[in-house]
Structure 1
Amino acid sequence: MSINIPRGTQDILPGTVEKWQHIEKIATEICRNYQYKEIRTPIFEHTELFQRGVGDTTDIVQKEMYTFTDRGDRSLTLRPEGTAAVVRSFVENKMFGDPNQPVKLYYNGPMFRYERPQSGRYRQFVQFGVEAIGSEDPAIDAEVMALVMDIYKTAGLQKVELVLNSLGDKDSRVAYRNALIEHFQPRIGEFCEDCQSRLEKNPMRILDCKKDREHELMKSAPSILDYLNEYSRTYFEKVQSYLTALGIDFTIDPTLVRGLDYYNHTAFEVMSRADGFGAITTLCGGGRYNGLVSQMGGPDVPGIGFAFSMERFLAAMEAEGIAWEDDNRLDCYVVSLGEEAKDYTVKLVHDLRTAGMKAERDYQNRKMKAQFKAADRLQARFVAILGEDELKENKINIKDMETGEQQEIALDQFVETLRKKMEEK
């Protein structure tokens, strides 16, 4: 019986994984430029963390979490998102006591949600995200958005759009909540069961419904921007002014609410506008979550962050036809003829690698012609040929595969000679 990969997961094979590494390298280097440092949290956490942190009214908690009971009768959950775990670590490890504030962190790893697999969406997927915890300065909001836009720009994406909204502070949200209930209640029976249950618990989540997004009441729903108090309005205007100063274009969408309960004030998404990308255009989502740290048992300090899907990042690059060169060519392939020469190349190849060169040899007992073909497939810059006679004379032949030039040198000078040739390339 054959065993296949579970539905909603994928194998990332050689030839593809290099694209992932390319994006990871870009994102990591930019995070370091912005002074964000890596954090790694467990793949599973106590279920209560996500119930409290993400919110009981979210689809993630209600429908999508992979939850299990361990042998100690504890309820554990494979992490469905990264923020709650990072905030838990921030509190547990007392990072709020670090003299360098805000604490700037980034993470990269697999997340798990039980949802219908579709193009660019998997049940195990990889998120890259950042969190800046400890500042209520609107400039940090602008910095976080600038960081992600910098990542996309550096990767070559052109057809991306930053969309933002303000969800206001607690007082603004209470006023808006009442307005939404008054708007939807008379015809709530026309909406799906999820929206009906959200009406009293979290009516703002109705605006995020995918099933009823074409309903006429969605289009005529009151705007959160009309219910912002003076503080929230001033805060949002300041965020916009900073983005403008940074030369970052953006669009304001009053219906943008995001899917997690912990968001307040700034909420944003980055959308792909590439032709043929698909119906779901969101590449990245994020926002401010003042109050989440105290909810996790820490001090009342604010935070803001974002996360993007690596899978959707790659899909956007493909949609825009972005090509990139992965210089993974082999520096040297060592061809051996005869048993003694073959044995000698084991250490010879190791010496090349120790000297910082990409080297390979034959492990299939192939003839000389087949070894040369292997070198061609690996796009070797040089081929070194060592036979029994050369070994006895302490010599080896080096062939430049681009020019065809061949040179015989002393075997004990081979590594250093090849290293110098590589520097000249």
Structure 2
Amino acid sequence: MNYQIPKGTQDILPGESERWQYIEQKARQLCERYNYREIRTPMFEQTELFARGVGDTTDIVQKEMYTFKDHGGRSITLRPEGTAAVVRSYVENKMHGWAEQPQKLYYTGPMFRYERPQSGRMRQFVQFGIEAIGCEDPAIDVEVMALAMDFYREFGLNNVKLVINSLGDQSSRKAHRDALVRHFEPSIDEFCSDCKERLETNPLRILDCKQDSDHPLMADAPSILDYLNDESREYFETVKSQLDSLGIPYEVDPGLVRGLDYYNSTAFEIMLEGEGFGAISTLSGGGRYNGLVEDIGGPQAPGIGFALSIERLLMALDAQGIELPIEHKLDAYVVVMGDVAKQKAVQVVHHLRKDGYRVEMDYLNKKMKGQFKAADRLGASYTIVIGEDEVNAGTVNVKNMHSGEQKTVGFEEISNTIESSL
């Protein structure tokens, strides 16, 4: 039987995995500058957490979750997104009682959604995200968006655009909901079955429908911005003013609703403009989720965050021809001649690695010429030649592969010789 990788997943092989490591390292460094600390949650949770946190009416909960019964008969789901699990941990570990508030957290790891695999969409994908929980202040909204924009600037992406909207507070959303029902209800039979259901459960989701996105009623649907109460409008104006003060350009899109039920107030997406990236232009998105902590059993603690797909970042980098500054080169390659020399070479390699050098040697008994080719292919800065004569003399030949200069040094001098030249 020929075993194959499951549909919608990928193997990240050596040569490619270094790009992922570089991105993850940059993300951690950026979070340190903004004083966000890492949190790690399980890859699976109780199904009810996502049904309650993400929302029963979302496509994620209704169609895309990997859900199964464990041996105890409990319903378990592989996490489809990161926020609900982070909030669950925040509540369960009583982080709302910690001295430092708001809690500023980041995470990275695999998520799982059963959807049609396509460019930029996988069934197992890796998200990086941040959450700031315990504060309702426009300044923290702006900080989150600034961090998201800085993330893409770290990699030199051009044509990155911030799009924002306000979904309002509870009273604003109710007024908008009623207006949407009045707008769509007379012609709802012209929409897909999902939208017909959404009209009753969450009409805001109709605006996010891909199947009916070209319906004429979509273009002139009531805007949430026309239904914001004074408090929500003032909050949104402050967010925009602070973005202006930081020189962060943005566009206001009243149709931006995001795909998860927990969002309210500030919502945003970061998009990549230009050709060569495919039909899906959104790189990341996020927003406020005031009320989610309470829904999951915690105290009143407003929050905001965003998440991005590392796969989509890599696609964007490729689309713009941006190469990450990654080098996989050896400090030294030990060339071995004969069995006696091999025993000594094993010791030399071990000690050089303990001294902090990246070192390799031949394990396939290649001829000397083949070993030098391997050293060159691996980008070794130095070769260290050890034969029976060198073992007897207590010396080795160290060759600088860039300049061609060679030195004969004692075994105890190898490390210092390399260090003085690297």
TM-score tier by shorter-chain length is over 0.9
Alignment partners' CA distance in 2, 1:240 and 1:15: 42
2:184 matched to which residue of 1?
184
CA deviation digits over 1:112-150, x for unaligned, max 9? 000000001100000000000000011000000000100
Q: TM-score, normalised by structure 1?
A: 0.99
Displacement after TM superposition at 1:353 (Å): 1.0
Distance, in Å, in 1 between the alignment partners of 2:132 and 2:290 is 11
Q: 3-state SS of the aligned residue for 2:101?
A: coil
Identity of aligned residues (%): 63
Residue 261 (structure 1) shift: 0.3
Structure 2 equivalent of residue 32 of structure 1: 32
8 Å Cα contact 1:57-1:202 kept in structure 2: yes
* 1:218-257 matched pairs, under 5 angstroms: 218-257=218-257
Give 1:122's aligned residue.
122
Q: Which residue of 2 aligns with 1:262?
A: 262
Runs of at least 4 residues of structure 1 off by over 6 A?
Answer: none
Residue identity matched to 1:238: T
Aligned to 1:84: 84
Q: Which position in structure 2 is the counterpart of 1:333? A: 333
Counterpart of 1:355 in structure 2 is 355
Return the offset for 1:246: 1.1
The code of the aligned residue for 1:55 comes to G
User: Where does residue 374 of structure 1 map in the other structure?
Assistant: 374
Contact 1:136–1:302 (Cα < 8 Å) also in 2: yes
Equivalent in the alignment of 2:396: 396
Q: Secondary structure at the match of 1:178?
A: helix
1:153 is displaced (CA, Å) by: 0.2
Q: Name the residue aligned to 1:97.
A: 97
Which string of whole-angstrom CA distances, capped at 9 and with x for unpartnered residues, describes residues 297-347 of structure 1? 100110000000010010011111111221221110000111111111111
Q: Show the counterpart of 2:301.
A: 301
Question: How many residues of Structure 1 are paired with residues of Structure 2 in the alignment?
Answer: 422
Q: Cα offset for 1:220?
A: 0.7
1:109 Cα deviation after fit: 0.3
Aligned counterparts of 1:324 and 1:92: Cα–Cα separation in 2: 39
Deviations for 1:354-401, whole angstroms, at most 9, x for unmatched residues? 111110000101111110011011011100101111111111001101
**2:155/2:324 contact within 8 Å kept:** no
Q: Distance in 2 between matches of 1:218 and 1:326?
A: 46
State how far apart, in whole Å, the 2-side matches of 1:278 and 1:252 are. Answer: 23
SS state of the match for residue 155, structure 1?
Answer: coil
Question: Contact 1:274 / 1:319 at 8 angstroms: preserved in 2?
Answer: no
Q: Does 1:273 align with 2:273?
A: yes
Partners of 1:391 and 1:415 lie apart in 2 by: 17
Deviations 1:181-216 (A, max 9, x none): 000000000000000000011000000000001100
Paired amino acid for 1:364: L
Cα separation, 1, equivalents of 2:146 and 2:77 = 32
Gaps of 5+ in 2: none
Q: Residues of 2 paired with 1:70 and 1:136: CA distance?
A: 38
Alignment correspondent of 1:53 = 53
Q: Distance in 2 between matches of 1:417 and 1:402?
A: 15
Distance between the aligned counterparts of 2:292 and 2:349, measured in 1? 54
Aligned-partner Cα distance in 2 for 1:377–1:117: 36
SS across alignment from 1:421: coil
- Aligned partners of 2:350 and 2:419: how far apart in 1? 14
Partner Cα distance (1:355, 1:245) in 2: 50
Question: 2:71 is matched with which residue?
Answer: 71
* 1:44 counterpart letter in structure 2: F
For residue 81 of structure 1, report the CA deviation from its aligned partner. 0.3
- Residue 414 of structure 1 corresponds to 414
Q: Deviations over 1:216-239 (max 9, x none)?
A: 000010110000000000000011
Please say if residues 40 and 107 of structure 2, whose CA atoms lie closer than 8 Å, have aligned partners that are also in contact: yes
Check the 8 A contact 1:271/1:283 in 2, yes or no.
yes
Q: Structure 1 CA distance, aligned partners of 2:304 and 2:257?
A: 15
Q: 1:125 is matched by which residue type in structure 2?
A: F
2:207–2:218 Cα contact (<8 Å) kept:
yes
Distance 1:401 1:417 in 2: 14
Determine the structure 2 residue equivalent to 1:41: 41
**Alpha-carbon shift at residue 419 of structure 1 (Å):** 1.8
| CA distance in structure 2 between the partners assigned to 1:235 and 1:382 by the alignment | 61
Q: Cα distance, 1:274 vs. partner?
A: 2.9
* Cα separation, 2, equivalents of 1:378 and 1:152: 31
Q: Deviations over 1:90-123 (max 9, x none)?
A: 0000000111100000000000000000001100
| Within-5 A mapping of 1:149-168 | 149-168=149-168
The superposition leaves residues 155-201 of structure 1 with CA deviations (integer Å, 9 ceiling, x where unpaired) of 11111111010000000000000000000000000000000000011
- Alpha-carbon contact 1:382-1:401 (below 8 Å) kept: yes
* Kept in 2: contact 1:113–1:124 (CA 8 A): yes
Separation (CA, whole Å) in 2 of partners of 1:269 and 1:414: 54
Deviation, structure 1 residue 411: 1.5
For residues 107 and 410 of structure 2, what CA distance do their matches in structure 1 show? 49
Q: Are residues 1:288 and 2:298 paired?
A: no
Matches of 2:114 and 2:323 in 1, distance apart?
32
What's the secondary structure of 1:63's corresponding residue?
helix
| Whole-Å separation in 1 of the counterparts to 2:142 and 2:164 | 11
Q: Contact 1:284 / 1:309 at 8 angstroms: preserved in 2?
A: yes
For 1:247 and 1:317, locate their aligned partners in 2 and report how far apart those are by CA, in whole Å. 24
2:154 is paired with a residue of what secondary structure?
Answer: helix
2:2 is equivalent to residue 12 of structure 1: no
* 8 A contact 1:207–1:257 mirrored in 2: yes
**Over aligned residue pairs, what C-alpha RMSD do you find?**
0.7
- Deviation, structure 1 residue 43: 0.3
- Per-residue deviation, 1:416: 2.0
Q: Contact 1:332 / 1:359 at 8 angstroms: preserved in 2?
A: yes
